[in-house]
Amino acid sequence: GKLLVVPMDGSHWFTMQMVVEKLLPKGHEVVVVVPEVSWQLGKPLNFTVKTYSVSHTQEDLNREFKFFIDSQWKTQQESGVLPLLTSPAQGFFELLFSHCRSLFKDKKLVEYLKQSSFDAVFLDPFDVCGLTVAKYFSLPSVVFSRGIFCHYLEEGSQCPSPPSYVPRPILKLTDTMTFKERVWNLLSYMGEHAFCPSFFKTATDIASEVLQTPVTMTDLFSPVSVWLLRTDFTLELPRPVMPNVIHIGGINCHQRKPVSKEFEAYVNASGEHGIVVFSLGSMVSEIPEKKAMEIAEALGRIPQTLLWRYTGTRPSNLAKNTILVKWLPQNDLLGHPKARAFITHSGSHGIYEGICNGVPMVMMPLFGDQMDNAKRMETRGAGVTLNVLEMTADDLENALKTVINNKSYKENIMRLSSLHKDRPIEPLDLAVFWVEYVMRHKGAPHLRPAAHDLTWYQYHSLDVIGFLLAIVLTVVFIVYKSCAYGCRKCFGGKGRVKKSHKSKTH
Amino acid sequence: GKVLVFPMEGSHWLSIRDVVRELHARGHQAVVLAPEVTVHIKEEDFFTLQTYPVPYTKEEYRHHLLGHLQNFFETEFSLKLVLQTMAAVNNVSTFYVRSCRGLLHNTALIQSLNSSSFDVVLTDPFFPCGAVLAMYLRVPAVFFLQSMLCELEFEATNSPNPSSYIPRLLTLNSDHMSFLDRVKNMLYPVPWMYLCHVNYGSLARLASDLLQREVSVVEILRHASVWLLRKDFVFHYPRPFMPNMVFIGGINCANRKPLSQEFEAYVNASGEHGIVVFSLGSMVSEIPEKKAMEIAEALGRIPQTLLWRYTGTRPSNLAKNTILVKWLPQNDLLGHPKARAFITHSGSHGIYEGICNGVPMVMMPLFGDQMDNAKRMETRGAGVTLNVLEMTADDLENALKTVINNKSYKENIMRLSSLHKDRPIEPLDLAVFWVEYVMRHKGAPHLRPAAHDLTWYQYHSLDVIGFLLAIVLTVVFIVYKSCAYGCRKCFGGKGRVKKSHKSKTH
């Protein structure tokens, strides 16, 4: 079959690419549509890539993202989606959303896509453009994502999410909440309904322009045939799911290669103490100098060999046990028996590599779902979370010593690891299966819940309840009235007697 | 590992049996626990049968369990039938409670079960005696079922269950309902809840005595680590469910064997017209004579060879093309390319065998979920439903000719079949995987939703909503009062002037 892929830049693309590459040998024709300017999408690939020109430069993209990241190092992180919506992130998101306008400006590309008659679209919904493309060409779609921003998974898949025990994103809550936390959770849920549409306004404006009819985010999300979510229930808390929501968490850590000679040498030199892997992900290249010095100091105080992926300026106080590298084979290193701990920004890729390889973690969440990931691992006793703004060298040192020396951390992560890896089918195969399924059957209409066709008050049966209440009240009213009437008839004489009596006394 | 199997009698046993066989094949030891008096459960080489004495005879059992089936051919659907059903259910339930008490108070047997330290209890919770036993033995449980009375499986797992688009059992509603349908959908389960209360109340009391703490039937059911549900979304409407619910619909048509010589001969003799398979399930042994004659007449009018599983007296007008058999390899026959149609009571086993083999159906639902099953297949254009009470020979003849000659029926069932069979993993493997999973991890606590620990008003956030409303109302009240006070202050002079003015005019 023919598959159209609309990916998202950055680390998001890494795992999606794995699925696409697995589809190729099965004889599918794959076309990937990417913007001219990107971090990861420009790399040579062995399938058809169609680029479209965008109105900004690589520098613009880097600047906006750096502005966003830097703000995370400076300001006190507040929890909840709402602060994120009003943060400097906005500029970066505006840039992402604008890609879609550029794509549809390329008339030749649009014409080509129209002629190609694809079976399905495989998309990352982060920049919304994939959803617009699917709707524009009326193609069934498969969504691939860590999670869905705001309440759009609930609306798009009609998956119930009771705010009483399903924590909203980025609130650092678990499934067991106090009354106060539940108040906060519900308010946050309501806040998402109120503010998310304006956050995505640029994206929906572009979509409305392209589709020539006003659309909301819900309109864009609700035709999705299958949702592939990169989570599972060792990280995620149990909650209601829908038949077309498939969990493929851990998809990125199944293929481990032996470590290269360079890294093998480092690992072997570490001796009995082993190594600690330190990476804040592919997106964070620099840390404010003061912070970097603090970190370097702490790292120098532990006996393990540190492998630190860092592209910024080398901190002057870097100890001998710390090796700075521009890039490291994270999953392969974590899989090495000498890996003792993992210092991570707790992005979902890193977390799953930690779980899958059973390495306890020290987490420094920066933004987005990282807060929640860190909180979940901490409550499961598989890691320690540090506040990146407030932490001192001592904090980091203590955290590292705790996860390395306190055996319970290792035990807990090993338990999670064994649960995580015990599954009837590998997540990568599952993802490939569902993409092909949607291609084969031209969507999955039989998995589409009828809830999509109901209004909110119908969904909650408010009209039925109102109707039944009205009947009960009417019956009660009639019974009451007729009783009252009956009473008056029976005791009518007396009443009148009284009245006349009264009038007499006047 | 060691598996304790506590099955339900009747057709329910037939598919759990496949799982037991597969578990045995993978090197597990299975002990099947059954009452001394059984209809279907017999000793087989892939498990150890452990029986326990019960205070009734086989005749009593047959009479109580199967006696009421006869009614469905004779009585109109009416209040009388509902009352009869209630009485029957009540009867059966007292029966099971007696049997269950006999088992649980059998100290010698319980002790021997306890000492064999099972890893898991695999049970059909239709009548959840096995669940109580699992709780008592402190062994994790896996449930295996099609559905429960009152759809308790959703209440017990805390699956959201909106009545606005999820048709309730026995309402014959689809997932798209009119306003009045939705009213019916909400009211219909109410009397059934009473029935369930009666049906399970005595078991809950038995369990409470045994465990020496108050337990409800829902709490008993919550002991399950994983629910294996014989449902599939090709046949059931898409709806929310919980991560510990695994769908294994179609498990019973997995292994098809070549036909025995006897049946092979029948099929070959049928010529170009092929065969029609006719079975009303393993529970219905006899049909009222008049009805049987009507059926036999209709069957004689079609050119296909009829294979009719029937243990009652042979109708005198049976035509030459109809072959009566005491038993038939239903799934193997349906899988034969010469199978043209399937006359079934639309029990879930039969329906799935029809779907899986792609054979259009003529359905004669008798009781329980069979009505709903038939309705669903009919709306999908894969079969014709007959009312078993009213149907004449002509009706049956027409129905058969329609599904055989009208190509759309074959096309629709083939479409359903291809969707149903397109799955990443076979249901039998999935079922066995989850039983083994629970054995390996001693349950699945990470799949237990926190919702179980909430009261109903907490679950629906009513306390939070009440609290927020109270705040809003207080604020409104205070603002109003202070405004009012402010107004009085400002215009106070005027007011007083007016008053004094008034008093003057008096």
CA distance linking residue A345 with residue A373, whole number of Å? 10
Task: Please judge whether A186 and B464 are an interchain contact, meaning their C-beta atoms are less than 8 angstroms apart.
Answer: yes
The pLDDT value given to residue B367: 78
> Which tokens in the block code for residue A384?
């320690």
The pLDDT value given to residue B73: 61
CA distance linking residue B133 with residue B120, whole number of Å? 11
Determine the distance in angstroms separating the CA of B25 from the nearest CA of chain A, rounded to an integer. 18
Please tell me which of the candidates B234, B461, B464 has its beta carbon nearest to residue A446: B234
Determine the distance in angstroms separating the CA of B58 from the nearest CA of chain A, rounded to an integer. 42
Total beta-carbon pairs less than 8 A apart between chain A and chain B = 153
- Among A229, A461, A471, which would you mutate to test the B interface (most chain B Cβ atoms within 10 Å of its Cβ)? A461
Please tell me which of the candidates A441, A450, A461 has its beta carbon nearest to residue B237: A450
Determine the distance in angstroms separating the CA of A161 from the nearest CA of chain B, rounded to an integer. 9
Please tell me which of the candidates B186, B240, B419 has its beta carbon nearest to residue A446: B419
CB-CB contact of A123 with A5 (8 Å): yes
The pLDDT value given to residue B288: 86
Instruction: Decide if pLDDT at A85 tops 80.
Output: no
Task: Please judge whether B450 and A238 are an interchain contact, meaning their C-beta atoms are less than 8 angstroms apart.
Answer: yes
Give chain A's end-to-end CA distance (angstroms, integer): 99
Please tell me which of the candidates B162, B418, B447 has its beta carbon nearest to residue A238: B447
What digits encode the pLDDT tens for the residues A334-349? 999 999 999 999 988 8
Task: Please judge whether A164 and B458 are an interchain contact, meaning their C-beta atoms are less than 8 angstroms apart.
Answer: yes
Please list, residue by residue across B182-212, b when 16 or more beta carbons sit within 10 angstroms of its beta carbon and e when fewer do. bbbbbebbeebeebbeebbebbbebbbebee
Q: Which chain A residues are closer than 8 Å to B424 by Cβ?
A: 425, 429-430, 433-434
Determine the distance in angstroms separating the CA of B132 from the nearest CA of chain A, rounded to an integer. 24
CA distance linking residue A83 with residue A72, whole number of Å? 11
Higher-scoring residue by pLDDT: A255, B367: B367
Q: Which residue of A has its CA nearest to B462?
A: A164
The pLDDT value given to residue B389: 85
ipTM computed for the complex: 0.90
Q: Which residue of A has its CA nearest to B236?
A: A446
Mean pLDDT of chain A: 89
Task: Please judge whether A240 and B465 are an interchain contact, meaning their C-beta atoms are less than 8 angstroms apart.
Answer: no
The pLDDT value given to residue A33: 94
- Among B161, B461, B472, which would you mutate to test the A interface (most chain A Cβ atoms within 10 Å of its Cβ)? B461
Q: Which chain A residues are closer than 8 Å to B425 by Cβ?
A: 424-425
> Which tokens in the block code for residue A403?
């996860």
CA distance linking residue B33 with residue B59, whole number of Å? 21
Please tell me which of the candidates B163, B240, B244 has its beta carbon nearest to residue A461: B163
The pLDDT value given to residue B504: 47
Q: Taking the C-alpha atoms of A27, A32, A38 and A42 in order, what is their torsion angle to the nearest 10 degrees?
A: 50
Residue with tokens 């779609």: A141
CB-CB contact of A228 with A144 (8 Å): yes
Q: Which chain B residues are closer than 8 Å to A175 by Cβ?
A: 449-450
Q: A493: how many CB neighbours lie within 10 A of its CB?
A: 9
Instruction: Report pTM.
Output: 0.91
Please tell me which of the candidates B233, B440, B448 has its beta carbon nearest to residue A447: B233
Please list the residues that pair with A344 across neighbouring strands: A279, A363
CA angle B102, B107, B113 (to 5 degrees): 100
- Among A464, A468, A471, which would you mutate to test the B interface (most chain B Cβ atoms within 10 Å of its Cβ)? A464
* DSSP string for A208-250: HHHHTS---HHHHHTT--EEEES--TTTSPP--B-TTEEE-TT
Q: Which residue of A has its CA nearest to B463?
A: A179
Q: Which chain A residues are closer than 8 Å to B419 by Cβ?
A: 441, 446
> Which tokens in the block code for residue B447?
């799949």
Please tell me which of the candidates B164, B418, B459 has its beta carbon nearest to residue A162: B459
The pLDDT value given to residue B78: 58
Helix A393-405, helix A407-421: angle, nearest 10: 70
The arithmetic mean of pLDDT across residues A190-212, rounded, is: 92
The arithmetic mean of pLDDT across residues A444-461, rounded, is: 94
What is the phi/psi pair of residue A108, to 5°? -65, -45
> Which tokens in the block code for residue B365?
């639902």
Where residue A499 falls among pLDDT bands split at 50, 70, 90?
A: very low
Task: Please judge whether B449 and A238 are an interchain contact, meaning their C-beta atoms are less than 8 angstroms apart.
Answer: yes
CA distance linking residue B501 with residue B28, whole number of Å? 100
Sign of CA dihedral A297, A302, A308, A314: positive
What digits encode the pLDDT tens for the residues A120-178? 999 999 989 999 999 999 999 999 998 888 899 999 999 999 999 999 988 888 999 99
CA distance linking residue A243 with residue B229, whole number of Å? 13
- Among B233, B234, B432, which would you mutate to test the A interface (most chain A Cβ atoms within 10 Å of its Cβ)? B233
CA-nearest of B16, B14, B36 to B99 is B36
Task: Please judge whether A464 and B162 are an interchain contact, meaning their C-beta atoms are less than 8 angstroms apart.
Answer: no
Q: Which residue type is seen at B492?
A: G
CB-CB contact of A377 with A395 (8 Å): no
Residue with tokens 């038949």: A243
The rounded percent of chain A whose pLDDT value lies above 90 is 68
> Which tokens in the block code for residue B180?
């009045």
Task: Please judge whether A233 and B165 are an interchain contact, meaning their C-beta atoms are less than 8 angstroms apart.
Answer: no
> Which tokens in the block code for residue B433?
């995987």
Determine the distance in angstroms separating the CA of B334 from the nearest CA of chain A, rounded to an integer. 24
CA distance linking residue B355 with residue B412, whole number of Å? 10
Residue with tokens 């009747």: B10
Task: Please judge whether A449 and B237 are an interchain contact, meaning their C-beta atoms are less than 8 angstroms apart.
Answer: yes
CB-CB contact of A245 with A157 (8 Å): yes
**With a cut of 50, which residues of chain B have pLDDT below it?**
495, 497-500, 502-506
SS3 (DSSP) at B205: helix
Cα separations in angstroms, B479 against A204, B256, B470, B476, B485: 38, 75, 14, 5, 10
Task: Please judge whether B162 and A160 are an interchain contact, meaning their C-beta atoms are less than 8 angstroms apart.
Answer: yes
Q: B149: how many CB neighbours lie within 10 A of its CB?
A: 19
* DSSP string for A60-123: HHHHHHHHHHHHHHHSPPPPSHHHHHHSTHHHHHHHHHHHHHHHHH-HHHHHHHHHT--SEEEE
Task: Please judge whether A459 and B164 are an interchain contact, meaning their C-beta atoms are less than 8 angstroms apart.
Answer: yes
Please tell me which of the candidates A242, A437, A450 has its beta carbon nearest to residue B165: A450
Q: Which chain A residues are closer than 8 Å to B244 by Cβ?
A: 238
The pLDDT value given to residue A488: 86
Total residues found in chain A within this entry:
506
Alpha helices in B273-315 (DSSP H): 289-300
The pLDDT value given to residue A180: 95
The pLDDT value given to residue B129: 93
Q: Which residue of B has its CA nearest to A455?
A: B164
- Among A157, A165, A226, which would you mutate to test the B interface (most chain B Cβ atoms within 10 Å of its Cβ)? A165
Q: Which residue of A has its CA nearest to B434?
A: A424
Please tell me which of the candidates B242, B244, B424 has its beta carbon nearest to residue A425: B424
Please tell me which of the candidates A163, A240, A447 has its beta carbon nearest to residue B160: A240
Determine the distance in angstroms separating the CA of B1 from the nearest CA of chain A, rounded to an integer. 17
Q: Order of strands across the sheet with B339-344?
A: B322-325, B305-309, B275-279, B339-344, B361-363, B383-385
Task: Please judge whether B242 and A165 are an interchain contact, meaning their C-beta atoms are less than 8 angstroms apart.
Answer: no
Where residue A492 falls among pLDDT bands split at 50, 70, 90?
A: low
